[in-house]
Amino acid sequence: MRPPSLPRAHLDSWRRVDETTERPFDSGPVSVEAHTVRYERNGPEPRPFVFTSRLHIRPETAPNAALTRLVQRQAKRGFRDRLAERDIGAVEHRGDREIALDDPTASRATLSTFRGQCANPDGADASTDSGLADPVPVEALLAVWSADGYLLAGGAYPLDDGAYPPDRDAADARRDLLRIIRGATPRDPAE
């Protein structure tokens, strides 16, 4: 099983940095496996990133309202953990809304918005460096939906306009991230 595909046309300034398969839940006969691919943009920390994941739930269970709520809740928890791994703390959930996706076979996605602070944006080691940079505000988005199983996509970007070239800003980064999320599909378009 492979991660969902992201729209190649929107990834030209992104570089693929990781592809993983993890088991975030395993209890008796029930398990969840997540197949994930992650991309980043070059630049100073905090670098914008985007990811997409396909969940494989065993035993096979068709999406339903109760399972969807559980997947959304666990995905938010796991996303907060991923943000913490990137030194993004003080994360606050700012709300949820539904969005349409480009895939006509997909359900509407629940998009969750989070705000936090990249506590160590220059990559300095807090245990050895005393002069750490000021925290950088970050916005993170997470979408959860069903299309041939459960899919997730999301990412984060700095809100500080100083993190962007003169002709771009955080609003551009948000539009780019949403365009990539909306374009995620369960299968590679070349298949």
The predicted-structure confidence for 10-69, as pLDDT tens digits, reads as follows 898 899 999 999 988 777 778 889 999 999 988 777 889 999 999 998 888 888 898 999
Residue 133 DSSP symbol: P
d(CA 91, CA 142) in angstroms, rounded, equals 13
Instruction: Label the pairing between strands 136-146 and 30-40.
Output: unpaired
CA angle 159, 79, 58 (to 5 degrees): 155
Q: Residue 171 pLDDT > 60, yes or no?
A: yes
Q: Residue 9 pLDDT > 70, yes or no?
A: yes
Residues 6 or more apart from 132 whose CB is under 8 A from it?
Answer: 119, 120, 122, 124, 126
What are residue 164's phi and psi, to 5 degrees? -125, 155
What residues does each domain of the chain span?
Answer: 8-183
Give per-residue pLDDT as tens, 141-164: 999 999 878 999 999 999 988 888
The pLDDT of residue 29 is 78
The pLDDT of residue 150 is 93
Structure tokens at 52: 């997409």
The pLDDT of residue 52 is 95
Element (H, E) at 183: helix 170-183
Give per-residue pLDDT as tens, 54-112: 999 888 888 889 899 989 999 999 999 999 999 999 999 999 999 999 999 899 999 99
d(CA 28, CA 97) in angstroms, rounded, equals 34
Element (H, E) at 43: none
**Cβ pair 152, 55 in contact under 8 A:** yes
The pLDDT of residue 115 is 97
**Cβ pair 163, 135 in contact under 8 A:** no
The pLDDT of residue 138 is 96
Nearest C-alpha neighbor of 50 from the set 171, 122, 139, 135: 139
The pLDDT of residue 131 is 54
Once rounded to an integer, what is the mean pLDDT over residues 161-177? Answer: 90
Q: Residue 128 pLDDT > 80, yes or no?
A: no
